[in-house]
Amino acid sequence: MNRTTFLTATFFALTLSACASVPQQPIAFNMQAVTSGPSRIAIYMDELPPTDTDFPGAACLLCIAVARGAHSDLSTQVQSLQPEGLDAIPMRMAEVLRAKGAHVTLVTDRLKIDELENNPTKEDGAPVHAKDFRPLAKRLDADKLIVLSFFRQGVIRSYSSYVPTDAPKAYVTGVGYMVDLRTNSYDWYSPLEVYKPADGAWNEPPTFPGLTNAYYQVLVEASDTMVSRLTQNAAPAAGALASQSSAPQPK
């Protein structure tokens, strides 16, 4: 096999592998798992990502440099903002679940979920986590574990190479899920995407009040949305946003 044939075969193999991977679909919170009997639930939130600007679509190194250079004042302002309220979500969830009769503990130690062993029974498309959570049952003294993970938060602006394609938006993306620590199955899986543009003009340095206000509104909406999903009867549609504004999912 010559080099060209090898590279072509490798490309198609990787493409088929990527296509075969089925993303986890949203699952409404299973309150029956809490109310049907004594339940010990642990709630854990990953370390929050830094507040920053993001420019998806500025794909090359020079494109990224141009985008960041054009928004240096905005980046300075965004990086000074604090993700107020997100760290209170675990306690708010605990209050909701305790009212339903669950025994709830908040996990303060770092769990390092990525370092867990792979789930030996994971099948592509099955509603189970790819990692094996069973060793955590004894460590956490819990039957189920709620995990809150925020991917990115701050301000996002889409680009096509060197050219912006829309106005900046405040945003928060993440996911909340509950895993049965005996079976690794999901009792809840809820992606979260909240985007909000500035009311009025956005380009008002140095403090960018429109985008700054939008950012804090996004934090409130993201927090309230995640907590409220514990009592909703239906899961959000796959790919649906928590707000009326939309933007591409950052990579």
- 45 close to 89: Cβ distance less than 8 angstroms: yes
Residue-level pLDDT at 121: 82
In a domain, 71, yes or no: yes
pLDDT at position 21: 59
Give which of 81, 236, 85, 247 is closest to 164, Cα–Cα.
Answer: 247
Residue found by looking up tokens 């094996």 in the block: 132
* Per-residue pLDDT reduced to its tens digit, 165-176: 999 999 999 999
Tokens for 209, please give them: 């009040």
Q: How many CB atoms lie within 10 A of CB 107?
A: 18
73 phi, psi to nearest 5 deg: -65, -40
Determine, yes or no, domain membership for 242: no
Between CA 127 and CA 26 the distance in angstroms is 9
Hey, what are 234's tokens? 């239906």
Q: Which residue has the tokens 């996004």?
A: 218
Residue 107 lies in a domain: yes
In a domain, 18, yes or no: no
| Total-model pTM | 0.83
- What domain range includes position 87? 23-228
- The per-residue pLDDT for 24 is 87
Domain count, the chain: 1
CATH number, position 131 = 3.30.160
Looking at residue 135, the DSSP 8-state letter turns out to be T
Q: Which amino acid is at 240?
A: A
Task: Determine, yes or no, domain membership for 1.
Answer: no
Evaluate whether residue 67 is within a structural domain. Answer: yes
Per-residue pLDDT tens, the chain, 251 aa: give them. 444 444 444 444 444 444 445 778 999 998 887 877 778 999 999 999 999 999 999 999 999 999 999 999 999 999 999 999 999 999 999 999 999 889 999 999 999 999 999 998 877 667 899 999 999 999 999 999 999 999 999 999 999 999 999 999 999 999 999 999 999 999 999 999 999 999 999 999 999 999 999 999 999 999 999 999 998 864 555 444 444 344 333 33
